[in-house]
Structure 1
Amino acid sequence: MTTPLPVQATFDDLGTPLHEVTFVVVDLETTGGSPLASEITEIGAVKVRGGEQLGEFQTLVNPGLPIPAFISVLTGITDRMVADAPRIETALPAFLEFARGAVLVAHNAPFDITFLKTNAQRLGLEWPGPRVIDTAHLARQLVTRDEAPNRKLGSLARLFQASTTPDHRALHDARATVDVLHGLLGRVGSLGVTTLEELSSYSSRVSPAQRRKRFLADSLPSAPGVYVFKDGQQRPLYVGTSVDIRRRVRTYFTASEHRTRMAEMVGIAESVTPIVCATPLEAEVRELRLIAEHKPRYNRRSRFPERAVWVKLTVEPFPRLSVVREVRDDGARYVGPFSGRKQAEQAVAAVHEVVPLRQCTTRLSPAKPTAACVLAELGRCGAPCTGQQSVADYDAVVSQVTAALTGDAEPLVRALEQRMAELAEQERYEDAGSVRDRLLTLVRGTARAQRLAPLAASPELVGARWRAEGGWEIVCVRYGRLAGTAVAARGTDPMLTVEAVRASAEVVAPPTGPVPAALPEETEKILRWLETPGTRLVSLDGEWTCPVNGAGRSRDRLEPLVRSQEQVAGFDEPRGRTLHRPPGAVASGAAAAG
């Protein structure tokens, strides 16, 4: 096992050491529990840094209304005491000046901070948005019930032997909270928490072993790209992407990461390899390729693209639909890919529901009739096997399927919707729901094929998209594969970058059939990038079109209804829901994508 060399990171990389942080511990007394219906009667605060006290702030506040009797009993603050005190218009700006640039600390911080923010907003004062530490939250992570019966300030003050006893007076409670804070900081320090950033995200769900691995992020770049966690034998454990590699990897060692398997992965990891990418699209594509190549055990998605299956309309005198794993250049029609055999079989079943296409697997010859199957007896097939249906008559049936797979899917979709309506009239709602699910599976796969095929057949496409920070993202795609990408800096001629990308782009061989020269998921990511508003088509060698009445239109219309997961008879009677039909059709052309 190779031990990684220690790297001295900058203070910015490591975070702000706790001993350098200025904390202002604040406590409020109020006339009630709601900042909208109650007022502040006292503000007390203590400023500390590195264990030393730097100053104190205390003022009573005239709430402008009578203090409830039970509040006076609890706090000891009476109307007479606050009669000559400053109003909040004077007290709050003074406190904000005292706390300027510091981290605010409070016990049950949401209460105190909400009162302060609400009053600042009411007075038109700018809230500085300081980082806030809640000692009650920390105590819930660090103090067991054997040590203290609860997480109230009084109980914690006794546990940590605070020098001041809290008594519901703001300054006294703030002083007690300072001692509680120092006691809690001592505990997290022994667990390896040494920076403000780590303290802010601290949770007991993060094990000490997980926190100790945070050095793996120290030398990573703050740049967009891919990161690969590896074990001691340099085997990839997990691949991810981020616009800031170092910041994202840091989160795996804090409470920001909630996934149990990631904690396990971090425990095994010995190194993190960064791959800086020119554009976010490049990072997404590299992630897909690395996952498909290495199949890291902690990645859940995109690990086995080779398991995708296709539906094939065979080439023979009497074609049929077949589920296959390989696409060949054999002149057949292919739809997909589907994520699994079950989904592909559902799509086939949707076609068989309304089209009398043969379902037998035997290769039939017009010259050699055979016995009919039960489907022919039921009228679900024209029985070409017996010679009752000629090749020409069967071609008319096949043409319905061919049209749905390659262009106009509306007739087939309408026939399936009519079938659902018939089942609804017979009150066969579960059967109607099954037809609905098969229909959506079919149009999903068909739409995917219709989207991928044009780009897969195009020798080259170059696109450009303006970046928010200035300049252009340039992308070169060949046969559906990302072949090159770069950024044209602000103020430069983007066409020079375009030519450079085209000259240096990967040479991609034409793919087989309708399959792109990349993972279908990669081509889909490229399509989403190209379809983003503001993307410009610089050049196109090929044709990028989408049929007006293609399956994508039906998919977009039906998808929201199936998401409801309601077992309904038909799309026109979905228990109070109405079918949404997007107006207009999808335009087609050399530079239109559907």
Structure 2
Amino acid sequence: MQPRVTSVGLLIKPNPADSFEYPHHIDRASLDALPSRPGIYIFRDDKDRPLYIGKSINIRTRVLSHLRTPEEARMLQQSSYIEFRRTAGDIGALLLESRLIKELQPLHNKKLRRTREMCTLRLGPSIKSIPEIVYARDHDFARTADLYGLFATRRAAQDKLREIVEMQMLCPALTGLETAVHGRACFARQISRCLGACIGAEPMQEHYRRLKVALNDMRILVWPYEGAMGIVEECDGWKQTHVVDHWSYLGSIDHAPGTPPVKRAAKRAFDVDTYKILVKPMLRGELRIEAVDI
């Protein structure tokens, strides 16, 4: 559609939506069925394989935006129909999206597709403690205190620690970034970038305090309950309770007759994506949390 000029000289630009056509190879019925409500959606190919999983507080609007995005042409060309699953809110959509991406391994969700082996920094209670890098396979992040930061690689953890040490003028030797030699100043002290805890110019207790304060913004919150809790969301009179235990999403209760109960898991592993979804709104008091019996 070309721009046109009205009789009074106003230029009217075409609205892309006016000339939009649904891709003919994508099942129209599956598009027409999309609700304007929260949930997840799955682009599938003609063999029912999942291509892409996304979430939105308005499934219909979000899916239609995909259809108008040239950068996603390859995914759209492979798509045959769109499946959706409703949730009662955004938290439920985020949790379900994260779980399904790990379970179904869709081709175009590269960022969240793998279950990540995370590491973190641990700082002991002694003023002589040196930050060490520990892994989720060896430590339960949901139950272990004094853990700081979530990192995909050991190098990322070391780089973050180095950044903190440099910014706060901490001692590289006393934080494990440089080999300590008794009685000798670290290199940073020699160029006036360390306050001198390595040679006694700064008390060890004060150095430890400053290190802990610097790390505190990255502290991993220990699961604050004895067991599983439910995060409640409601939409159009429909209530869902998302069951989470030690930062592991176990499933959602739909509070409808015939809904199967959430199964008790033998082992609940700390899930980094569940943690990132929930920790900030939990600390801000934005979540409706209730006890559950599973």
Which TM-score bucket, shorter chain as reference?
0.5 to 0.7
1:400 paired residue number: 210
Paired with 2:61 and 2:241, the residues of 1 have a C-alpha distance of 26
The 3 A distance-change label for structure 1 pair 277 and 334 is same
The structure with the largest helix share of the pair is 1
Mapping for residues 252-271 of structure 1, pairs under 5 Å: 252=66, 254=67, 257-260=68-71, 262-271=72-81
2:108 paired residue number: 298
Letter in 2 for 1:504: V
Paired with 2:286 and 2:239, the residues of 1 have a C-alpha distance of 11
2:98 paired residue number: 288
Indicate the SS of the match to 2:167: helix
- 1:202 maps to 2:29: no
Q: Is the 8 A contact 2:117 2:137 kept in 1?
A: no
1:482 paired residue number: 249
Mapping for residues 149-168 of structure 1, pairs under 5 Å: none
Q: Is the 8 A contact 1:476 1:484 kept in 2?
A: yes
The 3 A distance-change label for structure 1 pair 506 and 279 is farther
Q: Is the 8 A contact 2:45 2:78 kept in 1?
A: yes
The 3 A distance-change label for structure 1 pair 235 and 371 is farther
Letter in 2 for 1:345: D
2:168 paired residue number: 354
Paired with 1:396 and 1:324, the residues of 2 have a C-alpha distance of 25
Indicate the SS of the match to 2:223: helix
Letter in 2 for 1:405: L
Mapping for residues 570-585 of structure 1, pairs under 5 Å: none
The 3 A distance-change label for structure 1 pair 293 and 355 is farther
1:310 paired residue number: 120
Pick from 232, 247, 251: which aligns with 1:464? Answer: 232
Pick from 375, 384, 391: which aligns with 2:188? Answer: 375
Paired with 2:287 and 2:103, the residues of 1 have a C-alpha distance of 30
Paired with 1:323 and 1:533, the residues of 2 have a C-alpha distance of 31
The size of the alignment, in residue pairs, is 280
Indicate the SS of the match to 1:485: strand
Mapping for residues 122-137 of structure 1, pairs under 5 Å: 137=14
Q: What TM-score do you get using the length of structure 2 for normalisation? A: 0.66
Pick from 274, 283, 291: which aligns with 1:522? Answer: 274
Mapping for residues 313-352 of structure 1, pairs under 5 Å: 313=123, 318-322=128-132, 326=136, 328-329=138-139, 333-338=146-151, 341=155, 345-352=159-166
Q: Percent identity?
A: 18
Q: Is the 8 A contact 1:309 1:324 kept in 2?
A: yes
Q: Is the 8 A contact 1:278 1:485 kept in 2?
A: no
Letter in 2 for 1:507: A
Which digits, 9 at most, give the CA deviation of each residue in 1:374-431, with x for residues without a partner?
Answer: 33544627475xxx55xxx53442233234434xxxxxxxxxxxxxxxxxxxxxxxxx
Pick from 19, 44, 50: which aligns with 1:236? Answer: 50
Which of the two has higher C-alpha Rg? 1
Structure of greater relative contact order (alpha carbons < 8 Å, 6+ residues apart): 2
Once the two structures are TM-superposed, the CA of residue 536 in structure 1 deviates from its matched residue by: 3.8
Once the two structures are TM-superposed, the CA of residue 354 in structure 1 deviates from its matched residue by: 2.6
Name stretches of at least 5 consecutive residues in structure 2 with no aligned partner. Answer: 1-5
Paired with 1:535 and 1:479, the residues of 2 have a C-alpha distance of 16
2:3 paired residue number: none
Paired with 1:201 and 1:531, the residues of 2 have a C-alpha distance of 46
Name stretches of at least 5 consecutive residues in structure 1 with no aligned partner. Answer: 1-28, 35-107, 111-135, 142-198, 407-442, 490-495, 512-516, 542-594
Once the two structures are TM-superposed, the CA of residue 479 in structure 1 deviates from its matched residue by: 1.2
